[in-house]
Amino acid sequence: MEFGILMGDQPVASSAREHLDLMLRKAEAAQRAGFTYLTIGQHFLYDGFRWFQPVPLLARLAAELDEHVKIGTTVLIGPVHHPVVLGEELATLDVVTGGRLVVGLGTGYLPQEYATMGVPFDQRYRLLEELIEVMTKLWSSDRVSHQGRFWQIDDLPTHVHPLQQPRPPVWLGAMRETGVRRAARHGDVWTITPQQTMDQVDALIRTYAAERRSRGLPLNPLPLRRELMIGDGFDDAVSRFAAVARGKYEAYAGRGMTLLGDDEVRNFGDTVRDHVILGDAEACRKQIADIAAALPVGPLLVRPHWPGMDAEQTEAYLDHVGREIVQPLRRLESRSFADFLERPAG
């Protein structure tokens, strides 16, 4: 089992220099702790919190990383980008990182980001599918032609190709069955979101596998996002998690993320207990081992930093998780897809 982190955002009250320093220290601490994936998401004109844009930030971080550490976008808001611009930027980033890029894509959930870019929010899924099709052509061919619904290219040369061929791994985020089927068709893996329970994940993995098999596509372990907090026991872990995470959950609900409504935020303890890894170190290790024994997942991606935490707190979290989780579980293997599909659903 490999482990990774999500880099995240920071309140705009923090200076941009302090924010960048936090990112650099976070990358250094993550490597020291044994994490092998560093990823970051994307937002535009985001109220109250600063999101550094992923491509330039990851290019900067790549200079600090060991050769076995991969970097990724989890996730880029794909449909608001032109596929030629984004495709060439990502191909360049794959070269800069020595072929260690993971391309995580999704549609996002904020209509105003689409309105700002002049992109129709109600067409986001069709845009995402065509974006991936065009970028794959750009990455894997010397010339490209495309006559699609949104973009047209008439037999033009390509000049920037990623080192990973035919393309870097494409991780597609999705929360519901339709999106998971889309991830199966157009991505290389489905990135499992952190708000889903293990029962929900089990059912959706079966949906994903059926779609892949129907098209003769290979089945690879699925990246799993989970929040993780170690405490002196379960109640202490819940309290610690609430202290750093509750505000972000409230922000998600306020911005319309449909998996987190006002009721779920008000009943925070009950909301998080069925999808967050919580407890003392031994209990957290057991929960992760149980997940790996049941599901074909990996890497496991956790968030080491919540907005408002400083660099010292983030480094302490990473050191603690590295010592108590990453190192003890470095030889843990998840269930294979073949074994998973042999087991009856439920």
pLDDT tens per residue across span 35-54: 999 999 999 999 999 999 99
CATH number at residue 288: 3.20.20.30
What is the rounded CA–CA span in Å between residue 196 and residue 95? Answer: 34
Domain count across the chain = 1
pLDDT single digits (tens) 313-325: 999 999 999 999 9
What is the rounded CA–CA span in Å between residue 191 and residue 197? Answer: 14
* CA end-to-end distance (rounded Å), the chain: 24
Phi then psi for residue 147, to 5 deg, are -125, 90
Element (H, E) at 64: none
Mean pLDDT, 10 residues at a time, the chain of 346 residues: 94 94 96 98 94 97 95 97 98 97 96 97 98 98 98 98 98 95 98 91 97 97 97 94 81 58 67 88 98 97 91 96 98 97 84
What are the beta bridge partners of residue 190?
A: 172
pLDDT score recorded for residue 269: 73
Average pLDDT in the chain: 93
> Sign of dihedral through CA atoms 316, 306, 250, 277?
negative
What is the rounded CA–CA span in Å between residue 201 and residue 295? Answer: 9
pLDDT score recorded for residue 246: 79
Of 307, 287, 309, the C-alpha closest to 297 is 287
What is the rounded CA–CA span in Å between residue 198 and residue 346? Answer: 11
Please spell the DSSP secondary structure of 15-48, one letter per residue. -HHHHHHHHHHHHHHHHHHT--EEEE---SS-SS
Contacts of 10 (CB under 8 A, 6+ apart): 18, 19, 22, 49, 50, 307, 308
The domain of 333 spans 3-342
Q: Do the Cβ atoms of 160 and 88 come closer than 8 Å? A: yes
pLDDT score recorded for residue 345: 79
What is the rounded CA–CA span in Å between residue 237 and residue 241? Answer: 6
Which ranges of 98-197 would DSSP assign to H, the alpha helix? Answer: 111-117, 124-140, 177-186
pLDDT score recorded for residue 275: 84
What is the rounded CA–CA span in Å between residue 141 and residue 280? Answer: 51
Element (H, E) at 234: helix 234-254
Of 85, 4, 8, the C-alpha closest to 41 is 8
pLDDT score recorded for residue 274: 77
Q: Do the Cβ atoms of 219 and 212 come closer than 8 Å? A: yes
